[in-house]
Amino acid sequence: MKDRHTVSSRKKPSKRVKKRIPSSVKRFLNFVCKWTVITINTVIKIALLLPIPIFLLWYSFTIDRNGWFQGDQYEREVALAMLDGSAISNFEKMDERQITKLYAQNLSESVDVISLGSSRVLQLTKDIVGTESFFNAGMVGAEQPDVMSSYYLFDRVDKLPETVIFCVDPWIFSTAPEATAHQRVDWQMYNEFLHYGLGKDVDVSLPEENMALWLSLTSPAFFQENVEYYIKNKESGMRPSVVTDDIYNQLTDIKMPDGSILYQVNFRNLPPEDTYHLALTAINNSFVNCEGFFEMDAGMIQLFDEFIQYMQQKGSKVVLMLTPYHPVVYEKVLEQPERYSGFFQVESWLRNYALENDLALYGSYDPLAVGCTEEDFFDGWHVKGDGISKFFPGISNVESYSSLAEGVTLHRLP
C-alpha cells in the first residue's frame, strides 16, 4: 500500500513564459495605425470634396465663354452663316481667329475690302466703307501677330482684297507685358506668315499647347465669368444662332455678316453721362495695353514696315486708320505724358510714315482732332460708327495721305 503522503513521480506541467513585444515595435505599430487612420479619413474627405473642383473644371471647360477649349464646329457654323448673309447671336465664346480663317477658306471669290485691327475697328461696316464687298477682320484684343496673320489668312487661300483698311492700335509698337500677353494668338498661323510671307527663319511646326489657357480652368474668376455668361444667355441658348427677329433690339451682341459688331441694345442706348462714367472708371484702372509703353520698339517698327510692304507687293492698297479715344480718356492720358510717352510717339510717327510712303491715313487718337464728342462713343475705347463717319469718307473717296482738316493740328500732343 502506497503511502498517501508519497509524492507522485509525475512532474507538473511548467507554465509557458510569454514573450513581451519590444516597446519600439509597439510605438512603430501605433504610429502606422494612427497615420493609416488619418490617411483614410483624409482620402474620404478628399473623395467627398473632389466633385467640387472637378465640377468647376468641367463647367468652365464646357461653357467656355472665350471659346478657348471647344472645337471649331461652332466656328464653322458661324463662318458659313455669315457667308450666307446671316447675323449671329451668342458668338462671344467663339474663336474669332478660327472664324476669320474659315470665312476666308470658304469664300467663293475675294472681297474687295477688308479691315484689320482690334475691337476698336469692329464698328466699321460695309455702309460706312461704301461697298457690299467688305469684311471686317477685326478681333477683340488683337495684338501685332493677330493683325498680320489675319491678312495672311486671305493670302494663303488666294483671296486677297483690293484694299486693306488697317486700323493701327498704338500698342502694336510696344513690347511691354500688357501689350504682349499673347493669350489668343494663333502661333502656328503667325509663324507661317513670318516664314512664308516675310521670309523669316522661324519654326513652322505645331507649337506646344498654351498651358496658360489650361491653367485658366482652375481660376475662380474664370468660373464666375462662365456662370455669368450662362445666366445671361441661358434663355436664348448657348450655341451661336442666326438672328431671325429684329437685330436692332437684341439683348446680346450681334456678329453681322460683314464681320462688324452690333452691340446689344442696352449698351448702344446708354446716355452720354453713363458712357462718361464707364470711360472714366476704365482709364482710372488702366490705359488698355498701353501701360509700361514708354518708347516705340525698333523691332516692332521694322515689322510694321515689312508688313505694309508685303501687303502692297501682294497688290493690296493700304489705308491707315486711327480710331479716337473717348475725350475723358484722352484728357487723362494727356495729364500723364511721361507715363504714356510711347503712346504719344505713335501718331506723329505714323503720320510721317504715311506721308513718306504715300499712304492714305484717316482719323486720330485725339477725338477733338477729328470732331468726335462724348456722344460718339460707347465707352472709353470704342467709337461709334457715326463717329468713324466723321473722319472717314468711304472707300471710293480715299486719297493719298490725308492731313487733318484745315486749322486742326495735333496741338494737344505733349
- pLDDT of 386 higher than 70: yes
Structural domain boundaries in the chain: 23-58, 64-397
Pairing of strands 163-167, 241-242: unpaired
Question: What's the predicted TM-score (pTM) here?
Answer: 0.75
Contacts 24+ apart (CB under 8 A), 195-199: 196/156, 197/148, 197/152, 197/155, 197/310, 198/306, 198/307, 198/310
Q: What is the pLDDT of residues 72-111, one digit of tens each?
A: 667 878 888 999 999 998 777 677 888 899 899 999 999 9
DSSP 336: -
Q: Dihedral sign, CA of 337, 334, 142, 219?
A: positive
For the record, the C-alpha cell of 153 comes out as 489668312
Kindly write down the DSSP assignment for every residue of 48-84, as one continuous string: HHTHHHHHHHHHHHHH-TT-SSS-SHHHHHHHHHHHT
As a whole number of angstroms, the distance between CA 169 and CA 341 comes to 15
User: Does pLDDT of 363 surpass 50?
Assistant: yes
pLDDT tens across 143-167, in order? 899 999 999 999 999 999 999 999 9
284-311 residue pLDDT tens: 989 989 999 999 999 999 999 999 999 9
- For position 353, what pLDDT does the model report? 95
Sign of the dihedral defined by the CA atoms of residues 198, 201, 204, 209, in that order: negative
The dihedrals phi and psi of 189, each to the nearest 5 degrees, come to -65, -40
Closest by CA to 124, choosing from 271, 311, 321, 275, is 321
The overall average pLDDT reported for the chain is 84
